[in-house]
Chain A
Amino acid sequence: MVVKVYGPIKAACPQRVLSCLLEKDVDFQILHIDLDAGDHKKPDFLLHQPFGQVPAIEDGDFKLFESRAIIRYYASKYENRGPNLLGNTLEERALVDQWLEVEAHNFNDLVYNLVLQLVILPRMGKQGDSALALTCQQKLEKVFDIYEQRLSASAYLSGDSFTLADLSHQPGIRYLVEDAGMGHLVSQRKHVNAWWDTISNRPAWKKLMELASC
């Protein structure tokens, strides 16, 4: 059964799901949603995702939205296939969840707003808010300082193995480094830099980047 993933392959939240499916070797089909054309707000799509956001998945009769819920589901469903993205013990799993929540609540909004102001709005021919971008950048510096501290104690965020916690960061950091000119946030921090180097060179992520560049 092929998992249908609704969303543009270049958008961060669908990429979070696709990275996970590739890690787990789960077959998928991307059903492209044109955000510029407002496809995500049309009645057809709202049946898949009532908030009008991407991604949504369909796996046979099973439907799900919210990228971090989707990756939790597939990491658990295919726990014994490919890398263990969840952790082995209850405590390890809790740490994975903790850092996944950190990404969702302390990291994501800052990256989203920074990228919106510096990359997305200018691409649409609109003026970005440079003061807001600067504020986001300053706050991100502090967040990355905490990540630096954490990653000096373990190779990955939740411990010694790559998990959903690290995976969840891949799309956002790519945007920062490759599109927003914020690579220094990563490269100026020794352990964050090594971590990004490792997680961005995973075969699954590289495969996704290849698919996204077509």
Chain B
Amino acid sequence: MATPVTVHGPPLSTAVSRVLACLIEKDVPFQLIPVNMAKGEHKSPDFLKIQPFGQVPAFQDEATSLFESRAICRYICEKYPEKGNKGLYGTNPLAKASIDQWVEAEGQSFNPPSSVLVFQLAFAPRMKLKQDQSLISQNETKLEKLLGVYEKRLGESRFLAGDDFSLADLSHLPNAHYLVNAAEREELFTSKKNVERWWGEISSRDSWKKVVDMQKQST
């Protein structure tokens, strides 16, 4: 029987890998349809029908068609509450609010500078594009300051939103993984005691290891 959950996009994409991590945490079987971005497949008329902004991922679950990785993650958690990690999006409104708060912090404060750094340090060289040193320096400073706030927070609780691993921590995995493993910026995480402890825990989860495997297999 064909699995009804489909993700469109390359596993190397940070946003795609966010969704994959969530699906694996929730033990929801899925099919991954590759999208060749180098060939511009994400801008093809067919793809624009399922993601009008021409971005990855796009997601389908039976008749439901969605985009935006964080919206997809929330949907997966709401649709399959009894599967896999049941507490991933909280089991009560206050827990959920705390998770939403830190997912938003990831999306609004962590994602922008980390995305720039990942692109400049990991992808630009591979694409033979010139790096912008001033942009790198500005965003390193931003991220350093941000992780200072995380250091304090992670001294108060084991994970960002509370004592359990949640969507909030998961949401950070894709960019942080590249910063540590492809951009030579491990020190951002290892120079702070609590952040280092947190990074060690979240990056060694089985679900994330499986996503990294999928990324390696796709190259």
- Interface residues of A, Cβ cutoff 8 Å to B: 50-51, 62, 64-69, 72-73, 76-77, 90-91, 93-95, 97-98, 100-102, 104-106, 109, 143, 146, 149-150
User: Which listed residue, B70, B71, B94, B152, touches A50 by the CB 8 Å rule?
Assistant: B152
Report yes or no: A90 in contact with B78, Cβ–Cβ below 8 A: yes
Report yes or no: B52 in contact with A66, Cβ–Cβ below 8 A: no
Is B67 in contact with chain A by the CB < 8 A criterion? yes
Question: Secondary structure at chain B's binding surface: helix, strand, loop or mixed?
Answer: helix
Report yes or no: B97 in contact with A101, Cβ–Cβ below 8 A: no
Report yes or no: A146 in contact with B79, Cβ–Cβ below 8 A: no
Report yes or no: A66 in contact with B101, Cβ–Cβ below 8 A: yes
Is B64 in contact with chain A by the CB < 8 A criterion? yes
What A residues does B78 contact at CB under 8 A?
A: 90, 93-94
- Interface residues of B, Cβ cutoff 8 Å to A: 52-53, 63-64, 66-68, 70-71, 74-75, 78-79, 93-94, 96-98, 100-101, 103-105, 107-109, 112, 146, 149, 152-153
What B residues does A109 contact at CB under 8 A?
A: 112
When chains A and B are docked, how far (Å) is the Cα of A149 from the Cα of B51?
12
What A residues does B68 contact at CB under 8 A?
A: 97-98, 101-102, 105
Report yes or no: B64 in contact with A69, Cβ–Cβ below 8 A: no
What B residues does A68 contact at CB under 8 A?
A: 100, 104
Report yes or no: A51 in contact with B149, Cβ–Cβ below 8 A: yes
When chains A and B are docked, how far (Å) is the Cα of A73 from the Cα of B97?
6
CB distance from B191 to the nearest CB of A (A): 19
Name the residue on A nearest B79 (C-beta): A90
Report yes or no: A91 in contact with B64, Cβ–Cβ below 8 A: yes
Report yes or no: A149 in contact with B52, Cβ–Cβ below 8 A: yes
Residue pairs across A and B with CB atoms within 8 Å: the count is: 78
Report yes or no: B100 in contact with A73, Cβ–Cβ below 8 A: yes
When chains A and B are docked, how far (Å) is the Cα of A62 from the Cα of B64?
34
Report yes or no: B100 in contact with A97, Cβ–Cβ below 8 A: no
When chains A and B are docked, how far (Å) is the Cα of A90 from the Cα of B80?
11
Report yes or no: A94 in contact with B74, Cβ–Cβ below 8 A: yes
CB distance from A66 to the nearest CB of B (A): 4
What A residues does B107 contact at CB under 8 A?
A: 101, 104-105
What B residues does A90 contact at CB under 8 A?
A: 75, 78-79
When chains A and B are docked, how far (Å) is the Cα of A60 from the Cα of B105?
23
When chains A and B are docked, how far (Å) is the Cα of A62 from the Cα of B153?
16
When chains A and B are docked, how far (Å) is the Cα of A105 from the Cα of B107?
8
Report yes or no: B93 in contact with A73, Cβ–Cβ below 8 A: yes
Name the residue on A nearest B98 (C-beta): A64
A-B contact pairs, 12 of them (CB 8 A): A51-B146, A64-B98, A65-B101, A65-B105, A66-B100, A73-B97, A91-B63, A94-B75, A95-B66, A101-B68, A146-B52, A150-B52
Report yes or no: B104 in contact with A69, Cβ–Cβ below 8 A: yes
CB distance from A57 to the nearest CB of B (A): 10
